[in-house]
Structure 1
Amino acid sequence: MFSNNGFIILLTLLIALMASITPMPLSVDAFRPDWVLIVLVYWCLALPNKVNIITAWVMGFILDVLLGSVLGVHACAMALSVYIVVVNFQKIRNFSVWQQALIIGVLSAQYHLVVFWLQRFLSDVVFLPNYLYPVITTIVLWPWVFLLLRRVRRHFRIK
């Protein structure tokens, strides 16, 4: 991952981690998009041989540490979501950006439901509909994140 401009990939993932923990007003915090998931999915679609399930598990584990959740909850959900992308990356690449956004929305919903299920299994967490609000913002942001990261990948000639 560190050869051939792998530093840029790592930098985008670190920026996504920082965006995931940046303080937001309480009124919009429920709509915080899944930055790490979006960036991981992009790199898995673009370079599935460099960014894969292990990368997703490590990023999810780091997210667990940063968010103070039970270790492995986000790691497991992130790895499962990225596994689905890596297995189907050739199909997903052929869709338009808006169709991809809907697929990312389903992946984001699956990610949040796995996190909820694991937290429910480990502690007494109650499901609320606003738990899935980030799915909406993730769908809306995917086309712009996709175009931005594609531009970064082409600018730095990451292969």
Structure 2
Amino acid sequence: MEANNRWFIAVTVVMALLLAVMPLPYNWLWFRPAFTALVVIFWITRMPENLGVGFAWLVGLLEDLVTGATLGTHALALAVLAYFSLLTYRRTRAFNPAQQLMWVFVLVGIEQVVGNWVHSLSGKPVPGLTFLWPALTSALLWPWLIPWLNGFAGRLQVR
């Protein structure tokens, strides 16, 4: 992997982390898309031979540090998401946009379930299914995010 590619991946991860802690009104907090999950899905399906579960775990650990979450919550959730992304990256490349939207909903939903499970182990469960709202907003954001990331990645010769 070229140095330019590493820098661009790092920049997208930092942007996702900044968006993950961007201040929002209290009523909107549950609707914040899972930006780091979207970036991990994109890069793992784009470069599965170079990035994997370790990359996702590291991004999740950074997200834990940035957001102040219990250490390992996002790391485990993104590692599970990366595992499923790696299992299915060949199929998801052939999906039409609607299928990709649904698959992103499922992947981010799995990430949210794992994160909520770890969060509930610390004694702070989330009532009902409100923890799945980020999966819906992330899936709805996916069609607008992909062309933008593909455009930049294409200029950097990221395969």
Per the normalisation by structure 1, the TM-score is: 0.93
Q: Report the Cα distance in structure 1 between the residues aligned to 2:130 and 2:87, rounded to whole angstroms.
A: 30
Aligned 8 A contact 2:57 2:79 in 1: yes
Matched AA of 1:139? A
- The structure 1 segments of at least 4 consecutive aligned residues displaced by more than 4 Å after TM superposition are none
1:26 and 2:26 aligned: yes
Aligned to 2:62: 62
Mark the runs of 5 or more structure 1 residues left unpaired by the alignment: none
Structure 1 residue 120: deviation in Å?
A: 1.5
Q: Report the Cα distance in structure 2 between the residues aligned to 1:24 and 1:75, rounded to whole angstroms.
A: 23
Aligned to 2:128: 128
Aligned to 2:40: 40
**Any residues of structure 2 matched to 1:5-154 within 5 Å, and which?**
5-154=5-154
Q: Report the Cα distance in structure 1 between the residues aligned to 2:129 and 2:2, rounded to whole angstroms.
A: 40
Q: CA RMSD in A?
A: 1.4
Structure 1 residue 35: deviation in Å?
A: 0.2
Structure 1 residue 58: deviation in Å?
A: 0.5
Aligned 8 A contact 2:4 2:156 in 1: no
Identity of paired residues, percent?
28
Mark the runs of 5 or more structure 2 residues left unpaired by the alignment: none
Q: Report the Cα distance in structure 2 between the residues aligned to 1:2 and 1:155, rounded to whole angstroms.
A: 13
The SS at the match of 1:50 is: coil
Matched AA of 2:141? L
Q: Report the Cα distance in structure 1 between the residues aligned to 2:50 and 2:12, rounded to whole angstroms.
A: 14
Matched AA of 1:46? R
Per the normalisation by structure 2, the TM-score is: 0.93
Q: Report the Cα distance in structure 2 between the residues aligned to 1:5 and 1:136, rounded to whole angstroms.
A: 29
Q: Report the Cα distance in structure 1 between the residues aligned to 2:16 and 2:84, rounded to whole angstroms.
A: 20
Matched AA of 1:83? Y
Matched AA of 2:72? G
Instruction: Please list the CA deviations of residues 3-51 of structure 1 after superposition, one character each: whole Å capped at 9, or x if unmatched.
Output: 3522111111110111111111122221000000001101111111222
Matched AA of 1:15? M
